[in-house]
Structure 1
């Protein structure tokens, strides 16, 4: 019985997919490694990100978080909608948490059922 349990645990662990390092043209490892866009790497990845926008729409919030990493800002809106905001360049937000920034960012709107429905680019927050 103990061997069966160990086999089951091993199968379950091996069936879990690792987070990919690439999503189409977008290098996710570089994206996730540049938290807040403070190192200037995300700015160089914007064309590749834009090429994958349609493939990101419809993905679940957890999948977006796994792919792109934890959002720089998680903004809650009315009717259980939220925005995942990722800064694309260095700005005042890099100086400390909670500091307002007008740096370029991308916002991914999540519907009440947790699906990415809209992706917009702006300066600061949407």
Structure 2
């Protein structure tokens, strides 16, 4: 019994010391500093976010928080699903804190296992030529 407890504690300590998740080529610090996209920095990062979007699929919530930061808003869905909302541009949400705005946003959906299952936009991104 003692060795089981020791190994469990050792494993928990190891997991707590892991480096935060990241995706090469994505500036997580700039993204996270632009809370709710109100400074306009995320607007300039939309293409970069769209390029790494597929890399987020299957990641657990904690890794997404490491990469994108605390969500700007959160929705709880049926069957244990959650949606993290990250605004991509300034909008009325910058002045009205507890209300969703019509500003474009990325919606990161998690399944019941707390892993990313879908990422959508409120409005599709414009196609560049």
TM range (shorter): 0.7 to 0.9
- Displacement of 1:18: 4.0
Task: For residues 23-52 of structure 1, give each alpha carbon's deviation from its aligned partner in whole angstroms, at most 9, with x where no partner exists.
Answer: 232210100000000000001111111111
For 1:83, the equivalent position in structure 2 comes to 83
**Distance in 2 between residues matched to 1:38 and 1:17, nearest whole Å:** 31
Give, in whole Å, the separation in 2 of the partners of 1:72 and 1:100: 9
Q: Which residue of 2 aligns with 1:32?
A: 32
Does the CA-based 8 Å contact 1:107-1:119 persist in structure 2? yes
Does structure 1 retain, via aligned residues, the 8 Å contact 2:20–2:63? no
The two structures, once aligned, show a CA RMSD in angstroms of 1.7
TM-score, length of structure 1 as denominator length: 0.80
Cα distance in 2 for residues equivalent to 1:17 and 1:30: 22
**Alignment match, 1:99:** 99
**TM-score, length of structure 2 as denominator length:** 0.78
- Determine the structure 1 residue equivalent to 2:117: 117
Shift of 1:19: 3.2
1:16 corresponds to 2:12:
no
2: distance between equivalents of 1:82 and 1:96? 23
